[in-house]
Amino acid sequence: MEQELLTLLANTQSPQADARKSAEQQLHALYSNETFPISLIAIASHESVPVNLRQSALSVLRTFITTGWSSSLDEFKGQVLVNDTNKAQIRRALLELATTVETPERKVKASASYAVSKIASADFPDDWPELLPALLHIINDASTTDIALHGALKVLLDLVDTGFGEEQFFTVARDLVSALFAVATSETRRPILRALAVAVFKSCFDTLEMVLEQHKQAIKSFVDELLGGWSPYFVSTLEAPLPQPPSEEEANKSGDVAALWRGFVALKIQVVKVSTLALAPAGVIHLN
């Protein structure tokens, strides 16, 4: 089926409207085939396949998931199209693609991450209890590669933004924030990864703010506890001078000098965003 799907995916990007429409209709007609989503993941995982087709495979898969995975999804069309055995296989494969597969193509990983978050919004934690422990294991492991860590943090960011209910969040918040703090404060991690960890932390803060009225005292205690460690880090990061910017020649290259500069700038920006939220007069830190 993979070769057939590759042809159809290529045709969905045709400049001819009739060819695109025909390919999209044929893809939709394959929804009932139980190998359809698994074949799409296989295509997305093949590094020999052009990136645009790998992304297209994941885009089609996301649409398939939203319409036929679970009745709890808003876009569900009335029929579950995946059996439990295949669901487990798809969850594992997507999480691996989003995190541990050592592909440098971040656009592919980002697409896989979003698909994971869509599934998680329906299946986590009851049908996918191992998701968060798997992510925290990757994040907490000092031997995790930069590519894998970036993938795990991106999945976690999407999960916090779209996949957590408030009760689910409270049960895992301490472990989650602790893992993020370890990355954010690690001098051995690239600044861009530390910035991403702070971005996930900010999303956690946003989640707390959304449920503030229902859980005032619990949130106040939690915020007071966690900011005891985070606040000094924010202050030291804001006070630390940026390194010298790259020269024009260095900036036009893809080497470490320009990347480190951009990473430190990104880290500063994320810390400013969180500090503004946490220290605002109406923020959660000032609950009574």
**DSSP readout, 201-231?**
HHHHHHHHHHTTTTSHHHHHHHHHHHHHHHH
pLDDT, mean of residues 116-125: 89
Indicate the burial class of 242 (C-beta count within 10 angstroms; 0-12, 13-18, 19 or more). Answer: exposed
Locate the domains of the chain by residue range: 1-151, 164-288
Give the mean pLDDT of the chain.
Answer: 87
Q: Are 144 and 190 in contact (CB under 8 A)?
A: no
pLDDT at 208: 75
pLDDT at 183: 97
pLDDT at 251: 64
First to last CA, the chain: 60
Share of the chain above pLDDT 90, in %: 58
Q: What is the pLDDT of residues 237-283, one digit of tens each?
A: 999 998 888 777 766 666 677 788 889 999 999 999 888 765 554 44
Q: In the numeric block, which tokens belong to residue 47?
A: 């590094």
pLDDT, mean of residues 196-202: 94
* Sign of torsion over alpha carbons 126, 131, 133, 134: positive
- pLDDT(98) > 70: yes
Which segment of 72-76, 139-143, 146-150, 214-218 scores lowest on mean pLDDT?
214-218
pLDDT at 213: 66
Model pTM score: 0.84
SS3 content of the chain, % helix, strand, coil (to 5): 70, 0, 30
